[in-house]
Amino acid sequence: MTADPVIETRGVGMRFQGFTALKDVNVRIQPGILTSIIGPNGAGKSTFFNILSGALRPSDGRVLFQGNDITGTSPHQFAHIGIAKSFQITNLFPNFTALENVRIGLQAHVSRYGLWRRRALLQGLTEEAMALLDTVGLADCAQRPARELAHGQQRALEIAVALAARPRLLLMDEPTAGMSPEETRVMMDLIRKLVGERTVVLVEHKMKMVMSISERLVVLHHGELIAEGTPDDIRGNEMVRRVYLGQGQH
């Protein structure tokens, strides 16, 4: 029996001044696995990601998270309901240390419960922040300002900040963009490590990477869903092969 989806779209469409970016997209993301959204340039991947992350409200259809309709929910509410996102452009406090960036993320998450025993709470948050830095391989960089970190390290730090919200669903927009081959390998290892305790969905252009780490793939083309399944399913899909023909498998 298939588990209930963590997040799903029902008949989702998106139009921009007469241009149809997405049309009738129905996707069910299963819990505890890594799902990648792929497709050629202009396929609608970024638009679909922005709808999943709450940055855009779809023109048509609905988005459900754990069975609840979240269509039109404001983006700042997403962390509180259990959805975190990591974007292509890092969104950090450059002059704060890595530890301070993560601790700020934790404070934002707990502040709604009321700050009792402030000193004890702060100590607990520092310990939790250090644990998150360790998770993403940045424990040794805790006291370094974010601006001094290498690009790959900044992306890892942003993931630690996203994890501070204790999300059930982590959305990642091109997590290896601009990375060297070594940084890409480190990020792939980190993404594998993150799956299991939470569901991970990523948009990524690097097909070789996507095929090696994904458990399921969602393929978009001209704003429509053309295929969905395991990497083996997608490799053997005639329509997907036609769509990517001549584009290379980078």
DSSP string covering 42-111, please? Answer: TSSHHHHHHHHTTSS--SEEEEEETTEE-TT--HHHHHHHTEEEE-SS----TTSBHHHHHHHHHHHHHG
Asked which of 137, 165, 193 is the last residue of a domain, the reply is: 165
Task: Please give the mean pLDDT across all residues of the chain.
Answer: 89
Do residues 208 and 158 share a domain?
no
Do residues 182 and 73 share a domain?
yes
Asked which of 106, 132, 165 is the last residue of a domain, the reply is: 165
User: The domain that contains 77 carries what CATH number?
Assistant: 3.40.50.300
To the nearest 10°, report the CA torsion of 48, 51, 56, 59: 80
Task: Report the C-alpha gap between 25 and 94 in whole angstroms.
Answer: 38
- pLDDT for res 248: 47
Task: Report the C-alpha gap between 149 and 123 in whole angstroms.
Answer: 25
- pLDDT for res 182: 92
Do residues 180 and 193 share a domain?
yes
- pLDDT for res 86: 83
Closest-CA residue to 96 (of 173, 53, 160) = 160
> CA neighbours within 13 Å on the CB side: how many for 52?
34
- pLDDT for res 120: 61
- pLDDT for res 244: 79
Asked which of 165, 195, 218 is the last residue of a domain, the reply is: 165
| Spans of the chain, pLDDT less than 70 | 1-2, 87-90, 110-122, 245-250
- pLDDT for res 250: 45
Do residues 229 and 120 share a domain?
no
Do residues 172 and 54 share a domain?
yes
| DSSP label at residue 195 | B
Closest-CA residue to 219 (of 199, 200, 238) = 238
**How many distinct structural domains can be found in the chain?**
2
Do residues 70 and 182 share a domain?
yes
Do residues 213 and 185 share a domain?
yes
Do residues 183 and 61 share a domain?
yes
The boundaries of the domain holding residue 143 are: 91-165
Tokens of 30: 């299963």
Do residues 3 and 16 share a domain?
yes
Do residues 70 and 189 share a domain?
yes
- pLDDT for res 205: 82
Do residues 121 and 20 share a domain?
no
Do residues 175 and 205 share a domain?
yes
